[in-house]
Structure 1
Amino acid sequence: MDLFSVAGLVLALIAIIGGSVLKGAGLGALWSPAAFVIVMVGTVAAIMLHTPGSTLKHAFKIAGWVVRPPVSDRAALIAQLIEWSNVSRKQGLLGLESHVAAQTDPFLKKGLQMLVDGVEPEAIRHMLEIELQGEEHHDLAAAKVFEGMGIYAPTLGIVGAVLGLIAVMKNLADPSKLGHGIAAAFTATIYGIASANMFFLPMAAKLKSVIGRRSGERELAIEGLIAIAQGENPRNIEARLAGFLH
């Protein structure tokens, strides 16, 4: 679990709630069903119109990566590739066949299977790079869903504020309702700006970072698998792949 992300989410909530209390507005000022419907429901509606269904589903599937990103251990991956290299030198590429079934990562499993099948190194590279590009494109499109929500939310917050002020203008004859009405109008603005800058946009940035790290690991795997296919010495492979640790 990414404790920094969890801490960031908690601090974001504390900043809004604590700030409201310290400013004297109280917790009640942060709750407005009308503002919630206009901003949050409106943002979801806008992103549903903006995004294909498959991308939207994938976005909410990978949202958990913000606090629980995929396990990343490049040193362990290099060690595994070196192990496969030693096996292939001693037993030939067919000696890796027993390792294919044990591999849980679909990307590595595909590359390992191509090694066992005797596919040419350049063909392996070409197919795995296509696989990587497709996976990366799909994940980045999903991350941009939250980026889009971060763009729409503040605008809808302004819409909510304007609608609230319209309601206030209709009650000018009753001064007792003006203060409450104006406060409620600005609650929508808080919802829009706070949700965008404390949640949606940071989530998009974090997901892009995770996706970039995953792509780097895929590139590492491709280089290692190609080196095994070319029959390079395990020590040379290890030296080559060490650069990915930085």
Structure 2
Amino acid sequence: MLILLGALIVIFSVITGYVAHGGQLAILWQPYEFLIISGAAFGGFLIANPGKVIKKVFRVIPLLLKGTVYSKATYMDLLAMLYDLFYKAQREGLLAIEEDVDDPQNSELFQKYPRILAEEEAMTFLTDYLRLMVGGSMNPHELENLMDLELETLHEEEEMPAHAVNMTADALPGFGIIAALLGITIAMGEIDGPVTVIGQLVAAALIGTFTGILAGYSFVGPLGKAMEHRAREKAKLLEIIKVTIMAILNGYKPVLAVEFGRKVMYENERPGFEELENHLKGRG
């Protein structure tokens, strides 16, 4: 919603300011300039990026319209689920959670948290390391190093669409200049014509520069930044899982382990100590 609001504010401000200064709206409509800029930008985007990144860009853009990736309730559910999981393991032994880990979709424990169960990447990350814990074949340091490497890889992959969009945003002013130069070339071809005709051709050419700069800095660039924020939010969910698991492996009780997870959350979504404690009691 904020993305649409921001776009409307940009359009309203630019157009209103232009008209207030006596500008004519008709001159802004230059479809061939738009074709040159958008076509060159999209073609460069296709050349620069592999198919998997291109697909992910178009898959992520609609998701940005939903705003924040995870609500506070999602993080609260994650911490509560981790608490229930490790409390069961503490009470009955690690083997007691083996069935839950092997088939989380049919696990009564996991089914209490549909928000988390729907997060395929987070569930895969969690269950993979729980299997290693149940197997008991890795020491905590090895497990932590492996987690760090996987988190780094996942975050890098999640940021690829943002990098692709940011690169296109950086190039858009240049494509605008290309369109403007082509427009000036056309204007020079009419140098012997009436001054009004030449003026209109030059004005049309300058719209190309204007369009490239506006699109790059007000739309495509901010879209890339929004993708970066989304990638960081997705990484944070996995980081909470990692920190909580490591606390358990280092001998902390579940109620303290989830406190480790709470401390690495962003401030806006982080519950207070008592708020989390009451939430955990409420799930019991």
1:243 aligned to 2:263?
A: yes
Distance 1:118 1:133 in 2: 24
Q: Tell which has more relative contact order, 1 or 2 (C-alpha 8 A, sep 6+).
A: 1
1:33 alignment partner in structure 2: 31
Displacement of 1:89 in angstroms is: 0.9
1:124 alignment partner in structure 2: 143
- Quick one: which amino acid aligns to residue 150 of structure 1? A
Number of residue equivalences: 244
Mapped contact 1:89–1:231 kept (Cα < 8 A): no
CA offsets per residue over residues 149-196 of structure 1, 9 Å max, x none? 111110110111111111111112221411221121111112100100
When structure 1 is superposed on structure 2, of 106-115 and 133-142 the one drifting more is: 106-115
2:128 alignment partner in structure 1: 110
Unaligned regions of 5+ residues in structure 1, if any?
A: none
- Quick one: which amino acid aligns to residue 30 of structure 1? L
Distance 1:96 1:20, change over 3 A: farther
1:210 is aligned, of 225, 230, 235, to 230
- CA RMSD across the alignment: 2.2
- Quick one: which amino acid aligns to residue 66 of structure 1? L
- Secondary structure at the aligned position of 1:15 is classed as helix
- Quick one: which amino acid aligns to residue 164 of structure 2? V
How do 1:12-161 and structure 2 match up within 5 A? 12-68=10-66, 69-72=68-71, 73-100=74-101, 101-102=104-105, 103-104=117-118, 105=120, 106-120=124-138, 121-161=140-180
1:222 is aligned, of 236, 242, 248, to 242
1:173 is aligned, of 192, 196, 208, to 192
Distance 2:189 2:212 in 1: 24
Unaligned regions of 5+ residues in structure 2, if any?
A: 106-116, 268-284
Distance 1:89 1:199, change over 3 A: same
Displacement of 1:235 in angstroms is: 2.3
Distance 2:98 2:16 in 1: 59
Distance 1:38 1:11, change over 3 A: same
Mapped contact 1:65–1:207 kept (Cα < 8 A): no
1:200 is aligned, of 216, 220, 223, to 220
